[in-house]
Amino acid sequence: MESGQQIATFAIMLATGASIGLFFDFYRVIYKLLRPRPAIIYVTDLLFWLCATAFTFAALIMSNWGELRAYVFFGLFGGAILYFKLVSGLARIILLRLFRGIHFIVLWFNHLLWIAVFRPIAFIIRFVLRPFVFTQKRAVGLWKEHLKKPPDEKIPPNQ
């Protein structure tokens, strides 16, 4: 293999290692925000590593037809180490703010939807059902009075 091809493959593996690091930070931020259960964590960890393996395999196939050499591993680990040392902290802050912003927008839209759609529908339903609720409460009150025990005639009432 030519040295130019090896340098290109090494650069692609550096980028692949850094990309997997970014994807890992993405996963870490989602994990921090959602706090999933342990069973979910096991499944998502497995999915993460399967995706990372497939991504690495695809990059390796496209760069040098899948030849495994020492510089491929140095490139992968070097890219990941450079990413985590130089960019990871800033990337996590940006991702966290981005997800919190998206969460705020979703909550705001949910609130707007509640005010614009569900409150008027609830008001109309309460307005339509008001006579029935009044009748039901009155009937229950009369029924409870009807079921009261009559006072015992042997005991004179207190005066």
Quick check: 157 pLDDT over 90?
Answer: no
Quick check: 115 pLDDT over 90?
Answer: no
Tell me what pLDDT residue 132 has: 78
pLDDT digits (tens, 9 = 90+) for 43-93: 999 999 999 999 999 999 998 888 888 999 999 999 999 999 999 999 999
First-last CA distance in the chain: 114
Residue 61, amino acid? I
More confident: 21 or 150 = 21
Largest interatomic CA distance in the chain = 115
Distances (CA, A) of 105 to 18, 56, 57, 111: 30, 35, 37, 10
Residue 56, amino acid? T
pLDDT digits (tens, 9 = 90+) for 25-44: 999 999 988 888 999 999 99
**Residue 156: pLDDT band with limits 50, 70, 90:** low
Q: What percent of the chain has pLDDT over 90?
A: 57
Please give the Cα distance from 80 to 46 (Å, whole number): 19
Query: Which one-letter DSSP state was computed for residue 116?
Result: I
Please give the Cα distance from 150 to 141 (Å, whole number): 17
Quick check: 2 pLDDT over 90?
Answer: no
3-state secondary structure of 28: helix
Residue 69, amino acid? R
Lowest-pLDDT range of 123-127, 141-145, 153-157: 153-157
Q: What is the pTM of this model?
A: 0.66
**Residue 148: pLDDT band with limits 50, 70, 90:** confident
